[in-house]
Amino acid sequence: MKVSNAFIRFQWVVLTLIFLVVFAGSFVRMSGSGMGCPDWPKCFGQWVPPTEITELPANYQEAYLLKRQKKVQKFCKFLDRIGMDATAQKILNDPEVYKEEAFNPKKTWIEYLNRLAGFLAGNTMLLSFFWLLLFYRKRTWLLLTGINLVLMAIEAWFGSIVVATNLVPWTITVHLFLALVIIGLQLYFVHSLSTKMRPVLPQEKSFKWLTWLILAITFYQMFLGTQVREAIDALVKQGYSRAQWIEQLGLPFFIHRSFSWLVLILLSYLFWQNRKKWHYARLNTAFYLLAAELITGVALAYADMPGLVQTAHLVFASILFSVLLLIRFDASKVEKD
């Protein structure tokens, strides 16, 4: 089915806004602004958050703690029902969950802008669904965008759980997983809309299994990276200096570092082959993105770099993951044809 160029461009806008949410979320994490708004979807009970503490009642911390406790209890009942009773009890008994942060206008507005980015992405996805419903009505496309719209709603809801539980580490990992699934589905949709001629892909079997392997490792690396970040946050709370981090991080950090080198070796081989005979542009893009990601990773591990490098590291990883997905989508299209 042929679709308008305006519709295709709009899907790229949707994808860009989803990436903006990932960027904003990473910036929230880096700046420690996750609890900048203690409630959801409003911020301190307002659609436009306060800028001065005088705009809040004197007992605002106690009031919002009580609201969060109720949401935590509801979430833990849900975990109980799906068989995660041990996890539920751990959350309920964790004193860190019930800590309230003092009002900080800078952190409040950073978190609020993150929510605005999510609002924009969600509403453009909703508009995309109605656009399809009114003008194209292709069943598979409606199903795909409908599923992604539901996942976006779940992602927003789960964001409220991340806040309510005061950033319990595993909830942040689940939040990232959902974001990657949403990105993957939107990429697949954009790719399926393209009417341009498919690139000539390498026919060697090594290309097929190496690109799958690199994609799988990159996906795993992103979650391993969140665990390393969570471990660093814990070390900071315990008073460890940056110089002491690596020796305290243990096995996850060394696996994360080793897998980074493995991806570099595998992608360098494909890049070398590509330069010699394949000339497939997306492979070159993936290699340059990996180089940027590794540079930011080294800066995070060994240099006293500003916190913004954390955001750049995750953004480069997310875009690399997306380019690798597009490579596999290209390959799957060729195999079907």
User: Exposed (0-12), middle (13-18) or buried (19+): which is 45, by Cβ within 10 Å?
Assistant: middle
In this structure, what are the phi and psi dihedrals at residue 106, rounded to the nearest 5 degrees? -65, -50
Q: What is the pLDDT of residue 285?
A: 94
Q: What is the pLDDT of residue 168?
A: 77
Cβ count within 10 A of residue 321 = 21
Mark out the alpha helices in the chain (DSSP H runs): 5-31, 60-81, 85-92, 105-135, 139-164, 169-193, 205-237, 242-249, 251-273, 281-302, 308-336
3-state secondary structure of 98: helix
Q: Domain-by-domain residue ranges, the chain? A: 1-196, 198-337
Q: What is the pLDDT of residue 186?
A: 95
Mean pLDDT per block of 10 residues along the chain (337 residues) reads 88 94 84 81 86 86 85 90 89 83 89 91 94 89 94 89 78 87 94 72 83 92 81 71 69 83 92 88 93 85 68 88 92 68
Q: Between the CA of residue 220 and those of 9, 81, 176, what are the distances in Å? A: 31, 28, 12
Q: Which residue in this structure is represented by tokens 């460890």? A: 240
Q: What is the pLDDT of residue 326?
A: 92
Query: Which structure tokens are listed for 337?
Result: 């044809």
Residue type at 233 in one-letter notation: D
Question: Which H or E run includes 276?
Answer: none
CATH of 198-337, one of 1.10.1760, 1.10.3910, 1.20.1530, 1.20.120: 1.20.120
pLDDT digits (tens, 9 = 90+) for 132-159: 999 888 889 999 999 999 999 999 888 8
CA-only gyration radius of the chain, Å: 22
Q: What is the pLDDT of residue 9?
A: 92
User: How many angstroms separate the CA atoms of 75 and 324, rounded?
Assistant: 35
Q: Which residue in this structure is represented by tokens 């301190």? A: 44
Q: What is the pLDDT of residue 130?
A: 94
Return the closest-CA partner of residue 44 out of 68, 21, 26, 24: 68
User: How many angstroms separate the CA atoms of 263 and 197, rounded?
Assistant: 29
pLDDT digits (tens, 9 = 90+) for 70-125: 888 899 999 999 999 888 888 888 888 888 788 889 999 998 999 999 999 999 99
Per-residue three-class SS string for 229-261: HHHHHHHHHCCCCHHHHHHHHCHHHHHHHHHHH
Q: What is the pLDDT of residue 175?
A: 86
Cβ count within 10 A of residue 294 = 17
Q: What is the pLDDT of residue 243?
A: 66
Q: Between the CA of residue 78 and those of 58, 73, 157, 164, what are the distances in Å? A: 33, 9, 13, 14
